[in-house]
Structure 1
């Protein structure tokens, strides 16, 4: 009978450790997705800086579009295009045409929003060249 109690205690301890591990893996997964979004945004910002630097060097005008992905040569692989509402799929990029925001929809449903800035009077001058930059707005939760 004593062995059954020992076995039950071991099973409970392993179950608790498994739950703790699963929670930690979930947090790590969310952090990896956020890191991927930040890497994509960094690549988009570099593309924007290339466009502005080219214009500053050779002249010409900047694109008229408010969609920063119309400005750059490469787009994230999971970019759906311009939309008027929130798509059904998760882990995708899209441009919200009505709000004029580039949006990444996470797997958990919340959205990271970015807006193309064309004026030099921004609070965060990080990655802003000649007044053009990609600014992160407050995330939206569902």
Structure 2
């Protein structure tokens, strides 16, 4: 005895429904993964901005303290590791290095390069930041420069003019 025609049609319809449901689930999972990656990239960008802003606030407090000690103390502030100004260093701070091999350092972390007195952030993701070729971002405590053409203000003229500025990002060279 052969199976009724209606049960074959029902099985075919169930198979079609299952296939469509799997395709919809695959599309939804793909969209979710793309969104999750975007949120992670944005979280990294905001984390870097927050850390830099915290360090800028700490610089302001450090300058208030140094002003009472004179111009030499203010000049020394530019040579200090900004993470030392914080009561608690971030969990993703690796420490101080002298000319570190950045390729060998774990991404998503900060370090202080003693050679050029710069803060370095090693990128996890390149999509959130301006330069797609970047492996890291560099920041440095510097004396502010005048914005007038041809006029530069150095440490002697503006002892309170220290800022933390991004000095560039690292191309794939380091």
TM-score bracket for the superposition, by shorter chain length: 0.7 to 0.9
1:2-55, Cα deviation, whole Å (9 max, x unpaired) = 221221111111101111111111110111121111111111111110111222
Cα distance 1:34–1:122, how it changes in 2: closer, same or farther (>3 A)?
A: farther
Name the residue aligned to 1:126: none
1:116 equivalent in alignment to 2:141: yes
What is the RMSD computed on CA atoms of the aligned residues?
2.3
Structure 1 counterpart SS, 2:137: strand
What is the CA distance between 1:136 and its match in structure 2? 1.6
Distance in 2, matches of 1:19 and 1:137, equals: 37
Question: What residue in structure 1 maps to residue 151 of structure 2?
Answer: none
Unmatched 5+ residue regions in structure 2? 1-11, 127-134, 148-158
- Answer with 1 or 2: which has the greater Rg: 2
The TM-score with structure 1 as length reference comes to 0.80
How many residue pairs were aligned? 134
Q: Determine if the alignment matches structure 1 residue 98 to structure 2 residue 102.
A: no
CA distance, structure 2, for counterparts of residue 28 and residue 90 of structure 1 = 17
TM-score (norm 2): 0.67
Deviations, residues 79-113 of structure 1 (Å, cap 9, x unaligned): 11222221421221101233432011132373221
2:82 counterpart (41, 65, 68): 68
Describe the SS at the equivalent of 1:81: strand
- 5+ residue gaps, structure 1: 124-128
